[in-house]
Chains A and B, each alone.
Chain A
């Protein structure tokens, strides 16, 4: 019994004893006049970490010491903004002499230690009961390039990187408004990750911002290293197959959503922004729709929405037809399908599951392998398996077509999260179809629709322009009308101002309509 109780208690008592050992930090420790005392205090507070560097320094006639963690500080910067200026120093105030852009004077040691971890160097001077924290952080940013998973044909080719500062700058570059507000938080008890929410003060609903703030601040976890972790803490229903927060790596997509009154969450170390609240249809909007003309944009968007139905229902439909309702197929097609189905030993559901899982396997394998090998996996999987599997008689030709079409349709979705959902959803659909035929499809589809209508994202309806119905919003959700027709914003994020333009074309002196 002891063995089982240990398993089911998830070894909790082990965790407790470990927690007890951790150092309880005092809230305050004043800087002492004796230089050596300060150094040894910091050294102890950081558990004698070996990347702590202490460099003795002379400031005019005063003895001093510069402390920093060499893993997070830039040696060139230390040279440039601290050491050189201090050598040439004239006055008695090091704050004036140091040329770094951020110099903070502290009398308390504890916050200084936290700053050191974030890339500050600390200057202690003998006899002074204060210290100076100087920002000399080592910036190792990669270039702003187009995100590989959200490419666009037309439009901006920049994408977010792992630095929040750069990401914020990319967003600000899109919207030069004084109403663009950034609120910063530090998340994670251990990771202490910087996060910021961005919104337009005159647009985003105050209740929404308050709710998001409440959810962010009430997360009580050690590890909130990146946005993807925070996402699940903030979502309304984590077990719903549909994502309720949009992740995007494109600044223009963020800006577009901010201008609809939504809120974006950016985090240090996360090359993406989380946009909330979102509706189902936002996942099917791509920047390409807006960067091309409205007819083309509408066509592509309709195609994408249609692909949603193909991706979740086509295999189910085929299974239902082949095992329950073959009389609905036109005669010539019927005999063709029958001819190739006849020699398959398994029921269609097994055939479909086998093929679908093979495709998922191939996809996963192709993703994990380095690019040059990944391609050959595609060839091996697509051509060799696809062909051989039919010759052996495991899977029929029509099933290959169905699975291939479904696979293509599920990759059309511009958001990866939604693509995963769609791929997952077709399995229950297929099983329902194998059990009850068309009725099964109708039941499971109804079930899904009920769930979609019930779902909320931060208190706003998830299935928004469809349920609750607002035909005006269909102009930008289902199709994309010309911009001068989109006089109002979508109502689902409850923006403070609904009107986004007035008689745009008429004011130009143009009455073509």
Chain B
């Protein structure tokens, strides 16, 4: 009897101890907070990572950032090479931002290099992705901006811009190639006086970057794509011939938004798109301040609507020229007109589609009381 017990306990113990094989002690890992991919020589990539370390002492915590850069054949290869370079084992589980250089995404398909992120169960799928003008390596080499390490800084920067509807909410997961029928856009980072700054967004055609939009246009672009975030503030020019320059601008906050996107196919297989945007806004800044009068108010509404319509048309044209289908028109065709979809060559057809774009606007609030 006691022998049976002994073997039973022994067997259970041995079976359970197998679990220790999968242990990944937090203290042994080196955690990457930001990674970057650049074009390397001979078809290789240059991968750069910044490892964030905190040392906790009695006087407080100290943040440091350690940068490593390797030339590798693929992302996984790069991981291995970095792992050889650093002390401890490499872990990307806490990656916050992945930077890809403009040169890289303009010249080649970046999807193969993201593949490893979709396989690893500890993968940081919520990490943000951004395109950098110039090399990602140089951006990461800043190590620290103020008291924040570079990874945290760019993450917080992108986070705050996402909230103000300046850049789309994109992370590794939303980029997954299974999600077809529309093109994504990524935040576009530039190095401005030694500080990473978002200058707008980069538009993609499929997996290649084709154009950029500046911050003002990207806000309108996001409104047209019905991707409004927590808060959207637009500052528009209103020509005011009687007053000096300071009176030229009006700031409006978008309170609510209704977008109508209609893709119609006529009998002769002509694709037409009707894009309507209805905004209800509140005026948060208006130096000339005559909005108590209804005629002035309606006049302002008219001016703003016209201006927004013109800007929208320009943006749509730019998108068409770049072959960027950010509104997901392809997806509508796929689902509602599958026969037509099979016949056409989308990349040729898309720039030719006539867009009927219009923005209407209603001011619902002009003061501080709501």
Q: Given the interface contacts A336-B54, A339-B55, A340-B56, does A327 sit within 8 Å of B23 by beta carbon?
A: no
Given pairs A331-B94, A348-B25, A435-B17, 9 additional interface contacts (CB within 8 A): A322-B25, A324-B22, A327-B94, A327-B122, A335-B31, A336-B61, A338-B54, A339-B61, A440-B19
B61 cross-chain contacts in A, Cβ below 8 A: 336, 339
A-B contact pairs, 26 of them (CB 8 A): A321-B26, A322-B27, A323-B25, A323-B26, A326-B26, A326-B93, A331-B152, A334-B31, A334-B94, A335-B52, A335-B94, A336-B56, A337-B26, A338-B26, A339-B53, A339-B61, A340-B56, A342-B55, A343-B27, A344-B27, A432-B16, A435-B19, A435-B20, A437-B22, A440-B16, A440-B19
Q: Which residue in chain A gives the minimum CB-CB distance to B56?
A: A339
- Bits for A43-62, please: 1 = Cβ < 8 Å to B, else 0: 00000000000000000000
A434 cross-chain contacts in B, Cβ below 8 A: 20
CA distance A337 to B54 in the complex (A): 9
A347 touches B (CB below 8 Å): yes
> B residues bordering A, Cβ < 8 Å?
16-17, 19-20, 22-27, 29, 31, 52-56, 58, 61, 63, 93-94, 96, 122, 124, 152
Kindly count the residue-residue contacts between A and B in the assembled complex, taking CB atoms under 8 Å apart. 68
CA distance A209 to B25 in the complex (A): 56
B152 cross-chain contacts in A, Cβ below 8 A: 331
CB-based contact A437/B93 at 8 Å: no
CA distance A221 to B23 in the complex (A): 51
CB-based contact B52/A436 at 8 Å: no
A341 touches B (CB below 8 Å): yes
> A residues bordering B, Cβ < 8 Å?
321-324, 326-327, 331, 334-344, 347-348, 391, 397, 432, 434-437, 439-440
Q: Which residue in chain A gives the minimum CB-CB distance to B28?
A: A342
A340 cross-chain contacts in B, Cβ below 8 A: 56
CA distance A440 to B94 in the complex (A): 24
A337 cross-chain contacts in B, Cβ below 8 A: 26
B29 cross-chain contacts in A, Cβ below 8 A: 326, 338
Contact pick for B27, options A336, A341, A439, A440, CB 8 Å? A341
Minimum CB–CB distance from B63 to chain A (whole Å) comes to: 8
CB-based contact A436/B16 at 8 Å: yes
CB-based contact A323/B56 at 8 Å: no
CB-based contact B31/A338 at 8 Å: yes
CB-based contact A436/B19 at 8 Å: yes
B93 cross-chain contacts in A, Cβ below 8 A: 326-327
CA distance A324 to B28 in the complex (A): 12
Q: Which residue in chain A gives the minimum CB-CB distance to B16?
A: A435
CA distance A327 to B31 in the complex (A): 10
CB-based contact B26/A322 at 8 Å: yes
Q: Which of A340, A343, A435, A439 counts the most chain B CB atoms within 10 A? A: A435
Minimum CB–CB distance from B127 to chain A (whole Å) comes to: 10
Q: Which residue in chain A gives the minimum CB-CB distance to B122?
A: A327
CB-based contact B27/A338 at 8 Å: yes
Contact pick for B25, options A331, A339, A347, CB 8 Å? A347
CA distance A479 to B25 in the complex (A): 40
A432 cross-chain contacts in B, Cβ below 8 A: 16
Q: Given the interface contacts A326-B29, A327-B93, A339-B61, does A397 sit within 8 Å of B23 by beta carbon?
A: no
Minimum CB–CB distance from B349 to chain A (whole Å) comes to: 44
CA distance A237 to B87 in the complex (A): 53
Minimum CB–CB distance from B171 to chain A (whole Å) comes to: 14
CB-based contact A323/B24 at 8 Å: yes
CA distance A183 to B55 in the complex (A): 69
B17 cross-chain contacts in A, Cβ below 8 A: 435
CA distance A22 to B52 in the complex (A): 80
A338 cross-chain contacts in B, Cβ below 8 A: 26-27, 29, 31, 54
CA distance A310 to B93 in the complex (A): 27
